[in-house]
Amino acid sequence: MSEILKVRDLNVKFNSRVGGVFGNTVTKEVLKGVSFDIKEGEILGLVGESGSGKSTIAKAVLSLVPYEGEVVMNNARASMVFQDPKGSLNPSKRVGWLLEEALYLSGEKDKEQRSKKAREMILTVGLKEEHLMRYPSELSGGQRQRVCIGLALIPGPRLLIADEPVSALDVTIQAQILELLKDLQQKLGLSILFISHDLRVVYNFCDRLIILKSGNIVEEGIPEQVYAHPVADYTKELLSSI
Amino acid sequence: MKTSKKKNINFILGISVISVMALFILCGKILPLRDPNAIDASLKFASPSLKHPFGCDNFGREILSRVMEGSFSTFLIALGTVFIGTFFGIIIGALTGYFGGVVDEVLMRINDAIFAFPSILLALLFISLLGPGTYQVVIALGIAFIPSFARIVRGEFLKNRNMDYVKCAKLLGASDLRIMVIHILPNTLKVLLNSVLIGFNNAVLAEASMSFLGIGVQPPDPSLGRMLSEAQAYLFKAPNYALFPGLAIILMVLGFGLLSDSFEK
């Protein structure tokens, strides 16, 4: 199996200015030399507490933040599913418009094709055509996350980055969304970078996992092995807190 | 439930008052009334009668047709002012709020400086540069109104630009202009509508004050503020002269005030 994403020595620093225009610049290192690979068709779990730099890795891979180091995507596109399905859908637009806009931006200029593909996509993510006419506020959290997944799939990505996709949802809905992601992964042969703070969610869902603490990778391996024989103290701590 | 009912009443009242004013202005344009500037010495300070419902002023001009015409010009000036303020306010607010950085810092400090002056004072300054007149008032008030709109729009764009739906659109390859106009702007409209209504009220009052000071609409053309200032001298002799233009201002402000209340969250 070949790698779809190769990350080598990834460093991300944030400069923040303290005290207005003439204040000092404070540099904060968020990622300190992170390296990992994602293989084709693999689900990689990325676990860490808040502030550990999980989301920053996602943003760096998508070039949403400036970074140093090497991020090589093997002629593939990446899409992202965000944590808060409410904030990632424009509240003033209908679901159908959002899907068609994504199609338009992905290069589909024909209006009829767009509405046809939007209808197909809404079915792919397990919703009904009637949901196209709804506003995001009229959907449940799980339905909104399904729309977000649909939006992310539209550009035809090979790699899907899911940043805490189920953290804002009820446990039963979590299971449904995870099932949908697994389904899509198998059907489309996607690779998934699954970011979570919850080891329980990751255990059943991921093929391999990475544990991140303050910008460093402290543990890497398949879930069974990590859970049975954790190496790093931090991992033991995390596991004991479950 | 109770509050929403109250808002509903505000909405209905506001719309009714505005409709009455609109009808009133429309009547002035359609009905064959006397020319608002026609002078008739025999009618000097004529009391309200069937022929002249609001009476006549110190030049024997009919107050009814003058109030109608004055309301119309006040309305137009307020509309123009709010339009200029909103249009440039949106552009400045959107650019500064969305892009941030040095441009934001500089423009907002200028904005703060302009904001620090009362808008009337600022408008007076522009009038002294442009000279008095109707169009000059619209431009002066419009410029004076830009900062408050820019500030509101900037705040909304600042709030929205970091939201995930904007990142989503960016990831899909939407251009900055497309994100600003198509994605973010519709989400600011709710807040903007409210401030447009309040801004309209402020513009009505500002126009009336400027005409009252004699630098707005020029005589002999009628304007509500101008009529009030002329009526001042004859307040006891002909109270109807001050009463009706004052009422027209109150109704106009009240209508839009109630409407903006009903839109408030």
Q: For A127-148, what is each residue's pLDDT tens digit?
A: 888 889 899 888 888 899 999 9
Q: What is the pLDDT of residues B79-129, one digit of tens each?
A: 999 999 999 999 999 999 998 888 888 888 888 888 788 877 888 888 888
- Regarding whether A72 and A178 lie in a shared domain, the answer is yes
Measured between beta carbons, the chain A residues lying within 8 angstroms of B168 are 80, 82, 88, 148, 151
Judgement on whether residues A4 and A61 belong to the same structural domain of the protein: yes
CATH number at residue A42: 3.40.50.300
Find all residues with CB under 8 Å of B136, minimum gap 6, and list them. Answer: B126, B127, B130
Contact B88, B218 (CB under 8 A): no
Residue B57 has pLDDT above 80, yes or no: no
Q: How far apart are CA B133 and CA A80, in angstroms?
A: 57
Query: Within this chain, do residues A199 and A222 fall inside the same structural domain, yes or no?
Result: yes
Query: What range does the domain containing A206 cover?
Result: 1-76+159-242
* Chain A positions in Cβ-Cβ contact with residue B161 (cut-off 8 Å): none
Asked if A64 lies within 8 A of B171 by C-beta distance, the reply is yes
| Strand ranges of the sheet holding A78-81, from the earlier edge strand across to the other edge | A78-81, A159-163, A191-196, A43-48, A208-213, A216-221
CB–CB of B165 and A88 under 8 A? Answer: yes
Kindly tell me if the per-residue pLDDT of A196 is higher than 60. yes
- CA distance, residue A241 to nearest chain B CA (Å): 30
Q: Which helix H or strand E contains A72, and what residues bound it?
A: strand A68-73
* Band of residue B236 on the pLDDT scale cut at 50, 70, 90: confident
What is the C-alpha separation between A22 and A17, in angstroms, rounded?
9
**Is A82 part of any domain?**
no
Q: How far is B105 from chain A (nearest CA, A)?
A: 8
- Within 8 A of B170 by CB-CB distance, chain A residues are 64
3-state SS assignment for residue A79: strand
Residue A234, in any domain of the structure = yes
Identify whether residues A184 and A136 lie together within a single domain.
no
Residue of A nearest to B183 (CA): A90
User: What number of C-beta contacts closer than 8 Å exist between A and B?
Assistant: 50
Per-residue model confidence (pLDDT) at position B84: 94
Q: What share of residues in chain A are helix, strand, coil (percent, to 5)? A: 40, 30, 30
Q: Are A5 and A70 members of one domain?
A: yes
pLDDT band at B1 (very low <50, low <70, confident <90, very high): very low
**Pick from A124, A157, A190: which residue ends a domain?**
A157
Task: Say what the pLDDT of residue B6 is.
Answer: 72
Q: What is the mean pLDDT of residues B155-164?
A: 89
For residue A83, give the chain B residue with the closest CA. B164
Q: Note whether residue A173 is domain-resident.
A: yes
Q: How many domains does one find in chain A?
A: 2
- The tokens 């009912």 sit on which residue? B5
Q: Do B171 and A21 touch (CB under 8 A)?
A: no
User: Is residue A150 situated within a structural domain?
Assistant: yes
Domains and their CATH numbers in chain B: 9-24+56-263 (1.10.3720.10)
ipTM over 0.85: no
Residues of B in contact with A148 (CB under 8 A): 168
Chain A interface includes B172 (CB < 8 A): yes
Domain shared by A168 and A153, yes or no: no
- Tokens standing for residue B126: 């522009």
Chain A partners within 8 Å of B192 (Cβ):
none
Which of A122, A157, A192 terminates a domain? The answer is A157
B105/A82 Cβ within 8 A = no
Contact B168 A88 (CB under 8 A): yes
Nearest to A92 among B171, B174, B186 (CB): B186
Query: Does residue A181 fall inside a structural domain?
Result: yes
Q: At what angle do helices B63-99 and B224-231 cross, to 10 degrees?
A: 130
Query: Do A213 and A163 share a domain, yes or no?
Result: yes
Percent of chain A residues past pLDDT 90, beyond the cut: 8
Option in A21, A84, A154 nearest B164 (CB): A84
pLDDT single digits (tens) B9-32: 888 888 999 898 888 888 877 777
pLDDT tens, residue by residue, A1-48: 578 888 888 888 888 777 666 777 788 888 888 888 888 888 999 988
Do residues A222 and A167 share a domain? yes
Residue A1 pLDDT: 59
What's the mean pLDDT in B241-257? 89
In a domain, A190, yes or no: yes
DSSP string, A23-69: SEEEEEEEEEEEEEEEETT-EEEEEE-TTSSHHHHHHHHTTSS--EE
Query: B233 in helix, strand or coil?
Result: helix
Same domain? A153 vs A228 = no
pLDDT of B149 higher than 70: yes
Chain A residues contacting B, CB < 8 Å?
21, 62, 64, 79-80, 82-84, 87-93, 101-102, 105-106, 148, 151, 154-155
Give the closest residue to B83 by CA, choosing from B224, B210, B215, B199. Answer: B199
- Please give the average per-residue pLDDT across A44-73, as a whole number: 86
Nearest 5°: CA angle at B195, between B15 and B105? 170
Q: Measuring CA to CA, which residue among A156, A157, A81, A150 is closest to residue A120?
A: A150
Higher pLDDT, B264 or B207: B207
Task: State whether B167 and A64 contact (CB < 8 Å).
Answer: yes
A81 belongs to a structural domain: no
Read off φ and ψ for residue A34, nearest 5 degrees. -90, 130
**Partners of A221 in the β-ladder:** A209
Domain boundary among A157, A190, A217: A157
Map tokens 């400036």 to a residue: A66
Q: Give the span between the Cα atoms of A12 and B21, in whole angstroms.
A: 61
Do A153 and A163 belong together in one domain? Answer: no
Q: Do B164 and A92 touch (CB under 8 A)?
A: no
- Give the contacts of B183 (CB within 8 A, at least 6 positions apart): A90, B165, B166, B169, B174
Q: Are residues A217 and A232 in the same domain?
A: yes
Query: Which residues does chain B have within 8 Å of residue A79's beta carbon, measured at their own beta carbons?
Result: 171
Residue A57 falls within a domain, yes or no? yes
Q: Which residues in chain B have their CB less than 8 angstroms from residue A168's CB?
A: none
DSSP structural state of residue A218: E
Is the domain of A134 the same as that of A180? Answer: no
